[in-house]
Chains A and B, each alone.
Chain A
Amino acid sequence: MPYALVDHTADMALRVRAPSIEALFAEAALGLCEVLDARTSYPEETLRVELEGMDMEDLLVRWLQEVLYLVGVKGFRVYTVGRIAVAGTCLAAELEGAFGCGTLALEVKAVTYHGLSIERDGGDVTATVVLDV
């Protein structure tokens, strides 16, 4: 599994490992959706997301906040992350999925900056993000 949940007394941390920065962003989004129970097996629509961050870590937080918004407020359920490009501190991605109305398994209030890290680990990239639940 490319992501794991890490213990944090008040909250929940998501640790993601992937072979590239694009794959890392995609797996982080899918990991978040798994935690929320916001996956679907029906790719009916594609949503385009374009974001700019202050740096790579900030970009990751903004990306996950955007996914959280689309899932929690708009009711989007994610099949997969389609095309994704990360250039500098900009991201362009396509989220494939469907609008639904199923209840989420968990209320994630926010994706935080606490203990946030993106690190190169050999050929892989690893990120840790703390979620406020």
Chain B
Amino acid sequence: MPQPVKRRIDEYRIEIERVPPMRSRGLVYANRAIERTIEHDNVLQQVVNVACLPGIIGPSIAMPDIHWGYGFPIGGVAAFSLDEGVISPGGVGYDINCGVGCILTGLEEKDAALHTEVLLAALFNEVPSGVGSKGGITGVTEKEFRRVLEQGAGWAVRKGYLPAEDLDAFEDGGCIPGADPDAASARAYERGMPQLGTLGSGNHFLELDVVQEIHDRKTAEAFGLFEGQVVVLVHTGSRGFGHQVCDEYVRDMIAASARYGIDLPDRQLACAPVRSREGREYLGAMAASANFAFANRAIVAYLVRRAFERVFGLSFERLGMRMLVDCCHNVAKVERVEWEGRVVEACIHRKGATRALPAGDVRLPARYAVTGQPVLVPGDMGRMSFILCALDGARETFFSACHGAGRLLSRHEAKRVSRGRKILDELRHKGIRAMAASKATLAEEIPDAYKDVSDVVDTVSGAGIARPVARLRPFAMVKG
């Protein structure tokens, strides 16, 4: 594979020159601070590898929260022609539709401050978290579970877990069409069924934030945001169901790649033509996994609302709790994008990236038609997060934006750095309460392990992909 040859285009973009066998160039969104964080990483090689895959249209894109993944980089976006292009399970990742949702409340920081400890304990007790967590809801039969896979967040509405008016806050209305429950194995069901309505572990979290600063007052008002407001972020995905689906389809696609004569720079990039039997089967299984994840976050949101209701003694409606947005981070979908001045349908892979539809896009729900889509950018657990609004510049990224701060340190390195430190006390000194199912997770997720999210936001903002609307400050969290 060719080594990446990079050239800075402007303050926010770096181009990676197209050198055979690359089929397109690379385009990395990075200001100079972000560039320094990826200088000694292998991640640009992964951008090059993706650019070598058949049928890629437009550049192999990397968002500023990019970091070394397996196969595709994390923070990678790539579009593939439906006729000549491919679909790659490794380009989506194991945690299919890992994503984040934001629940607004009508509470102010002073209301919550009196109850933080109790609220945190209630959330910790209410939402199963940690390694292999199970039992968020019980009594879901296999027949019912298949409906979850077909209907996603819509199933949660029908079962009373999600208010109907929250459904359009979900990407694609919380359901990716074409889900095929039969395309997932018995093992996927075995792993996934008991885990519906759970947070999991690793970088998954529940976070209570306060809106610290409004950057764009008009859009903030349209989004329902105000200074001092308490909001909740929910970060989880398709749990063991998606892991198993990805596992099995990567394996199948390695054989398929050989059958279709696709030369792979890394086996994890295994793929098949989008329209092939293998490609269609994976799309069906992936959509089922993505719908599991939508339903999972909808149920976790229900458990969050229940915890708030118990602590404050008021209904969630009285507490002003409603979804702002819920979006996928790891997904491949057939979407309409702009390429070479035309609107075309392409298979967009987002691995550690989020969709970002600007104002006027017909796919937006009515409430965001004028503003553009809210884009959540969670930072690390000790500093800040952002709510952005998608801009027209997102056309250049196939309507995609960054998904978070991006890891800086490996989990191993983070544990080394945190050895001997009292992470909970450090957070407490910053006014942040945390509960974690595992101390190891807390050590792996220390703030130092992540890039400064403000550099990430500066880049997407400078590149015209999305503008900041509000900055959030965390004050309580549950880590898996």
Contact = CB atoms under 8 A, between A and B. Distances in A.
25 contacts: A5-B412, A7-B413, A8-B410, A9-B67, A9-B409, A11-B410, A12-B410, A57-B267, A58-B254, A69-B191, A73-B190, A73-B240, A103-B132, A104-B131, A104-B132, A106-B440, A107-B201, A112-B71, A113-B267, A113-B268, A114-B71, A115-B266, A116-B267, A132-B93, A132-B243
Interface of B: 41, 43, 67-71, 74, 90, 93-95, 130-132, 187, 190-191, 200-202, 240, 243, 246-247, 250-251, 254-255, 266-268, 270, 407-413, 438, 440, 480
Given A7-B413, A10-B407, A109 B266 contact: no
Given A103-B130, A109-B243, A112-B70, A132 B412 contact: no
Contact of A110 (B94, B131, B202, B438): B94
Given A58-B254, A109-B94, A109-B243, A7 B410 contact: yes
A11 B70 CA distance: 8
Contacts of A5: 412
A133 B132 CA distance: 12
Contacts of A7: 410, 412-413
Contacts of A111: 247
B132 A12 contact: no
A65 interface: yes
Given A9-B410, A73-B190, A112 B268 contact: yes
Given A65-B247, A112-B250, A130-B70, 14 more contacts: A9-B407, A12-B410, A54-B254, A54-B255, A57-B267, A72-B191, A103-B130, A105-B438, A106-B201, A106-B440, A110-B243, A114-B71, A114-B90, A115-B266
B132 A107 contact: yes
Contact of B251 (A58, A116, A132): A58
Bin the interface of chain A by size. 20 to 34
Q: Which 9 A-B pairs have the closest CB atoms?
A: A114-B70, A113-B267, A114-B268, A9-B68, A109-B94, A7-B410, A107-B201, A109-B243, A107-B131
Contacts of B413: 7
Contacts of B74: 10
Contacts of A104: 131-132
A62 to B, nearest CB: 8
Interface of A: 5-12, 54, 57-58, 61-62, 65, 69, 72-73, 103-107, 109-116, 130, 132-133
A7 to B, nearest CB: 4
B284 to A, nearest CB: 20
A109 B266 CA distance: 19
Contacts of B246: 110
A110 B132 CA distance: 13
B95 A109 contact: yes
Contacts of A105: 131, 438, 440
Contacts of B95: 109
Contacts of A57: 267
Nearest to B408: A9
Contacts of B270: 113
Contacts of A109: 94-95, 202, 243
A120 to B, nearest CB: 20
A106 B200 CA distance: 10
A116 B71 CA distance: 11
A10 B68 contact: yes
Contacts of B71: 112-114
A132 B191 contact: no
A106 B74 CA distance: 21
B202 A107 contact: yes
B200 A113 contact: no
Contacts of A114: 69-71, 90, 266-268
A14 B426 CA distance: 31
Nearest to A111: B247
- B130, B243, B255, B408 interface centre (most CB from chain A within 10 Å): B243
A75 B95 CA distance: 21
Contact of A133 (B43, B202, B254, B409): B202
A6 B411 CA distance: 10
A12 B69 CA distance: 10
